Amino acid sequence: MPIIVDCIQGTEEWQQARKGLITASLFEMVMAQKKQGQKTSKYNAVMMKLAGERITGKIVDEGTTLAMRRGTELEPQARQLYGTLTHTQPECIGFVLADDRMKGFSPDAFIGKDGVLEIKTKKPEILIPHFTQKGFPEEHKAQCQGGLWIAQREWIDLMLYWPDMPVLIKRAYRDEVYIRKLESEMHRFNDALERMVQQMKSVGVRMENIIEGRTVGDKAKTCKRRMHKLRGGGGARVGF
């Protein structure tokens, strides 16, 4: 069973609950691949960031973007509007920790016993094209299916919202085939993350002195050869 962490999103308690964990908002990055099947640079960057959190026990504050602040500000009114339109009572949830405690999800709300609400604020020029696109937005599939997987729920409503614009709500149900792929990739990511953590912990203190791409020992040998030449070892003498 998933573990519900009773906290307010954005607070220090919430940050601590998700420290060192891969969360649903990053699942798209884990699933992404280059044309050759290789993982992206962001994949490795996120892994190193989480490794650092696990090793130090601290979270580095990376600040918030304008889009993130806007989403936080608009989310409460969007959630209230959703409740009015659907005749439901969205339940605010802080953080959902998977039963294996290796991943988590911060839903915008739980709906009844089986549903989840995910709110995305999008400016009009980004929102409008979604009204003519069929199917569930691909860029949000990993996060939403990942949320259903972690929370062990059946369906999720993706609400695309901007003040005074028409509201678009797209519902998706559990895609078990996709979730199995997601689960496999998460295991792969977490295994690699744990190996990285253990490797870094085993390093301890490492000191290297590098001069022009060579170690001090190499540089010293070069200096000795030059001195030998200056002292008559086959090189020209320098007179003063």
- Three-state SS string over 165-178 comes to CCCEEEEEECCHHH
**Confidence at residue 62, expressed as pLDDT on a 0 to 100 scale:** 72
The kind and range of the H/E element at 23 are strand 22-23
**Confidence at residue 223, expressed as pLDDT on a 0 to 100 scale:** 46
**Which residues in the chain land under pLDDT 70?**
63, 212-240
User: How far does the chain reach from its first CA to its final CA, in angstroms?
Assistant: 86
Beta carbons of 174 and 154 less than 8 angstroms apart: yes
**Confidence at residue 224, expressed as pLDDT on a 0 to 100 scale:** 53
**Confidence at residue 225, expressed as pLDDT on a 0 to 100 scale:** 54
**Confidence at residue 136, expressed as pLDDT on a 0 to 100 scale:** 97
Q: Which two tokens stand for residue 159?
A: 């609400």
**Confidence at residue 213, expressed as pLDDT on a 0 to 100 scale:** 54
Is the pTM here over 0.75, yes or no? Answer: yes
Query: What residue ranges define each of the domains in the chain, with the CATH number in brackets?
Result: 3-201 (3.90.320.10), 209-240 (no CATH)
